[in-house]
């Protein structure tokens, strides 16, 4: 296909606009939570892989943390194992945990590694079990229930082998970075006794971004970003502004856990967090290397930072 002068000028403009961002972020770490439509649509999978490989080529150190809920659900259905969810989390008994480890640590993880390598990347797949990357403990989920009239008491819900991060072994990730590999991480952790836990991928990505002091945490979603009550996408938000949006219930439902993950990362070491639309091709490059971006940027001080 021949390239018109107008198209050539547009390409040159994009490259010129991206140069200061490339210079600014070279040598920095970017943690990407990969899931949603970007993980199942073939065109979006290819654009994701090219984005990650290009980041690595220009000197950025991407770390990919992936989910796999739909894939786990599909295998459980084929095995006639019922899926139950509480507050968006999958109740994980020992039988379900076997499937989670098989699907996340095997099928999904290796598929992403293969995708990146086919696009000339140098990816290595690991789960949080490998090298004790993710130390975990059983998640204690509590709900308020009414008792004795209007009094509210806490009820603890047993989620089975659903866990939360205790610590991250950064040595494993540093070794990969120094060897020029792209880590692809399945969000499974273990406790001191060796028991495995299914951990929310957003939470794992946020914890890794925090302990590494990442330049960016990027959460790929199936929405345009954080929106106000009129549906307008908000960006350049500070921690205080996001706290207000949560307090006045502008943010609720499925977006709330992602926002809380982003806030925790920014408060605990990450320079910025981005909640972006994974349904847009090359969403990550557009967010990182252009002035406009395609989602919501959150930093400690908002546009002042």
* Residue range 39-77, pLDDT digits in tens: 988 999 999 999 999 999 999 999 999 999 999 999 999
Tens digit of pLDDT for each residue in 82-127? 988 887 789 999 999 999 999 999 999 999 999 999 999 999 999 9
Judge whether 158 and 166 are in contact, CB under 8 Å: no
Rama region for 231: left / alpha / beta (φ>0; ψ in -120 to 50; rest)? left
Judge whether 121 and 149 are in contact, CB under 8 Å: no
Q: How many alpha carbons lie under 13 Å from residue 277 in its C-beta half-sphere? A: 15
Domains of the chain: 24-304 (3.40.1160.10)
For residue 151, name the pLDDT band (cuts at 50, 70, 90): low
Q: Answer yes or no: is pLDDT of 148 > 80.
A: no
Angle at 302 between CA 214 and CA 267, to 5 degrees: 45
Model pLDDT, residue 153: 58
Please enumerate in sequence order all residues whose Cβ is within 8 A of that of 140, keeping only pairs 6 or more positions apart, or say none: 156
């Amino acid at each position: 296909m021949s390239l018109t002068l107008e198209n050539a000028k547009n390409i040159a403009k994009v490259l010129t606009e991206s140069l200061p961002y490339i210079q600014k972020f070279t040598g920095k770490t970017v943690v990407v939570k990969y899931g949603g439509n970007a993980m199942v649509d073939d065109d979006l999978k290819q654009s994701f892989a090219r984005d990650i490989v290009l980041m690595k080529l220009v000197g950025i150190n991407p770390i990919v943390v992936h989910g796999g809920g739909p894939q786990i659900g599909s295998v459980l259905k084929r095995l006639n194992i019922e899926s139950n969810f509480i507050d968006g989390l999958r109740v994980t008994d020992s039988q379900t945990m076997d499937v989670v480890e098989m699907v996340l640590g095997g099928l999904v993880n290796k598929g992403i590694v293969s995708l990146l390598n086919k696009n000339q990347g140098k990816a290595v797949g690991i789960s949080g079990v490998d090298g004790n990357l993710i130390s975990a403990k059983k998640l204690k989920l509590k709900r308020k229930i009414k008792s004795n009239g209007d009094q509210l008491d806490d009820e603890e819900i047993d989620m089975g082998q659903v866990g939360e991060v205790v610590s991250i072994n950064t040595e494993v990730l540093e070794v990969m970075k120094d060897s020029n590999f792209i880590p692809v991480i399945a969000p499974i952790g273990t406790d001191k006794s060796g028991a495995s836990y299914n951990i929310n991928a957003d939470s794992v990505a946020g914890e890794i971004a925090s302990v590494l002091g990442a330049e960016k945490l990027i959460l790929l979603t199936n929405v345009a970003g954080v929106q106000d009550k009129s549906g307008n996408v908000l960006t350049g938000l500070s921690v205080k502004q996001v706290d207000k949006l949560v307090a006045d219930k502008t943010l609720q439902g499925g977006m709330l856990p992602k926002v809380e993950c982003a806030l925790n990362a920014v408060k605990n070491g990450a320079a910025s967090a981005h909640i972006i639309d994974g349904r847009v091709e090359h969403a990550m490059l557009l967010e990182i290397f252009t002035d406009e971006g395609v989602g919501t940027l959150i930093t400690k001080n908002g546009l002042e930072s």
